[in-house]
Amino acid sequence: MKLVVTYSSKDGLRREYERRACRYGSVVELPADYFAEGDSPETIQTVLGAFSSKGHEVIGLEADERVGQNLLEAAPDMVFNIAEGLYGDSRESYVPTICEHLGLAYSGSDPLTLALCLNKARAKEILSFHGIATPRFYVITSVEDDRLCDFPYPGIIKPISEGSSKGIFEDSVVKQEAAARVSIGKMLTTYDQAVIIEEFLPGQEFTVAVWGNGPEAEVLPIIGMNFDDLPPGANGIYSYEAKWLWDVPEKPLQIFSCPADISEALRQKIEMLVLRTCAVLQVRDWGRIDVRLDHASQPHILEVNPLPGILPKPEDNSCFPKAARTAGYSYADMLEHVVQIAMKRTGLLECGGRA
Ligand SMILES: Nc1ncnc2c1ncn2[C@@H]1O[C@H](COP(=O)(O)OP(=O)(O)OP(=O)(O)O)[C@@H](O)[C@H]1O
Ligand SMILES: [Mg+2]
């Protein structure tokens, strides 16, 4: 098969930022986590190498302003999309939208699902409509918001449309109103978007990888998270500090266990919740869903990632590859399986490759 891998490299995102900044003449100091979602050269090379090792003809393309033309010229059988983009709720939908416009088959969710899930409030509204448990929240656009007076603290404050723990710092957990207003003020200025304040769930956390479609959707071994290894006084969340500063390959933290050591009853409850979540949000081919227990040990959906991170090195603790590894899939086997799922969905399997 001829595959194109579309990605957003960290350098590519920086160039995109500079292009915009030049156009609008607004170069500002960037937060340290600004390019956290970009793919490293190592991830890109490993993904390309994995597909070559499976016998595919493979080309990598930066998801930049030329990607449409480049995709047309490459004329792949399938686009394997991992591009995160940089601006707005629709940034993960950029490549899928172009693929739909060009009539190219691509892996993963469609533009609507990618955009809805990136906006945490929109995703939670849909989950609530369908009766799926998710912590209560408000969308906040001003530090003056009156609802902060009677919020049931503790809460956690997050930018509305980010991932990779961007904007989720230790001080995002707030125990009272004054701290909430300070944290919200900082976040509104730094990330230039609304924030959500969400009920803080005190129970255990899990992240759950899912792949396949319809009745074939399958939950990979559940990953349990344990925050006892974080520095003393830390808040027990997978914050930016925990993910990128404290848990480093030279000094890895023992945060994850896979499969999670939980009762059969809880495992089934989490699996049902996650599969229903994927169904109502129409997550396609693959995804990763974060779940946390409330004070009564009932699972709630924290957020849905239809474009899961796939850092290749096990010590990077990227969770989709970790769950796939536990299920017996090497990195290359995992990627190949996602492509097979996408091919089956698009009908490419039946016609032997070429669309
Ligand atoms: N309501 C909550 N109660 C308790 N902890 C929470 C809550 N919401 C988020 N957290 C903590 O903050 C972390 C990051 O939050 P979230 O998963 O929403 O952000 P993200 O940046 O989109 O994550 P990802 O890196 O998975 O894309 C969670 O893994 C969890 O530890
Ligand atoms: Mg998360």
- Give DSSP secondary structure letters for 222-283: PEEE--TTSPTT--SS--HIIIIIISBTTB----EESS----HHHHHHHHHHHHHHHHHHT-
- CB of 205 sitting under 6 A from ligand 1: yes
Q: Whose CA is nearest to atom 11 of ligand 1?
A: 237
Domains of the chain: 2-108 (3.40.50.20), 134-199 (3.30.1490.20), 205-329 (3.30.470.20)
How many A from CA of 103 to the centre of ligand 1? 35
How many A from CA of 216 to the centre of ligand 1? 28
How many A from CA of 168 to the centre of ligand 1? 7
How many A from CA of 303 to the centre of ligand 1? 7
Partnered with residue 300 across adjacent β-strands are 292
149: Cβ–Cβ under 8 A, 6 or more apart, which residues?
A: 177
How many A from CA of 238 to the centre of ligand 1? 6
**CA 353, CA 290: separation in Å to the nearest integer?**
34
Kindly give the number of the ligand 1 atom that is closest to the alpha carbon of 198: 1
Q: Whose CA is nearest to atom 28 of ligand 1?
A: 238
The environment of the single-atom ion ligand 2, i.e. residues with CB closer than 5 A, is: 290
At residue 26, the pLDDT reads 63
- CB of 124 sitting under 6 A from ligand 1: no
How many A from CA of 42 to the centre of ligand 2? 22
Q: How confident is the model at residue 88 (pLDDT cuts 50, 70, 90)?
A: confident
Most confident of 11-20, 27-36, 81-90: 81-90
- CB of 164 sitting under 6 A from ligand 1: yes
Lowest mean pLDDT segment, chosen from 151-155, 235-239, 281-285, 323-327: 235-239
At residue 28, the pLDDT reads 65
- Percent pLDDT > 90 in the chain is 77
How many A from CA of 304 to the centre of ligand 2? 7
The stretch 177-204 carries a mean pLDDT of 94
At residue 354, the pLDDT reads 42
328-346 pLDDT per residue, tens: 999 999 999 999 999 999 9
The stretch 17-24 carries a mean pLDDT of 77
Residues 14, 20, 24: CA angle, nearest 5 degrees:
145
Kindly give the number of the ligand 1 atom that is closest to the alpha carbon of 165: 21
Q: Whose CA is nearest to atom 2 of ligand 1?
A: 200
At residue 351, the pLDDT reads 54
At residue 44, the pLDDT reads 97
- In the predicted structure, residue 50 carries a pLDDT above the cut 70: yes
- The answer to whether the beta carbons of residues 95 and 6 sit under 8 Å apart is yes
Q: Whose CA is nearest to atom 26 of ligand 1?
A: 164
At residue 167, the pLDDT reads 86
Q: How confident is the model at residue 319 (pLDDT cuts 50, 70, 90)?
A: very high
204-262 pLDDT per residue, tens: 999 999 999 999 999 999 999 999 989 998 999 999 888 888 888 788 788 999 999 99
At residue 353, the pLDDT reads 45
- In the predicted structure, residue 157 carries a pLDDT above the cut 50: yes
Nearest to 87 by CA among 34, 142, 128, 145: 34
- CB of 156 sitting under 6 A from ligand 1: yes
Q: Is the dihedral of CA 92, 96, 101, 102 positive or negative?
A: positive
- CB of 37 sitting under 6 A from ligand 1: no
Kindly give the number of the ligand 1 atom that is closest to the alpha carbon of 290: 17
3-class DSSP state for residue 147?
Answer: helix
Taking the alpha carbons at both ends of the chain, their separation in whole angstroms is 10
- The answer to whether the beta carbons of residues 9 and 66 sit under 8 Å apart is no
Nearest to 242 by CA among 309, 170, 341: 170
At residue 355, the pLDDT reads 37
- CB of 166 sitting under 6 A from ligand 1: yes
**CA 77, CA 347: separation in Å to the nearest integer?**
11
- The answer to whether the beta carbons of residues 35 and 67 sit under 8 Å apart is no
176: Cβ–Cβ under 8 A, 6 or more apart, which residues?
A: 153
How many A from CA of 125 to the centre of ligand 1? 17
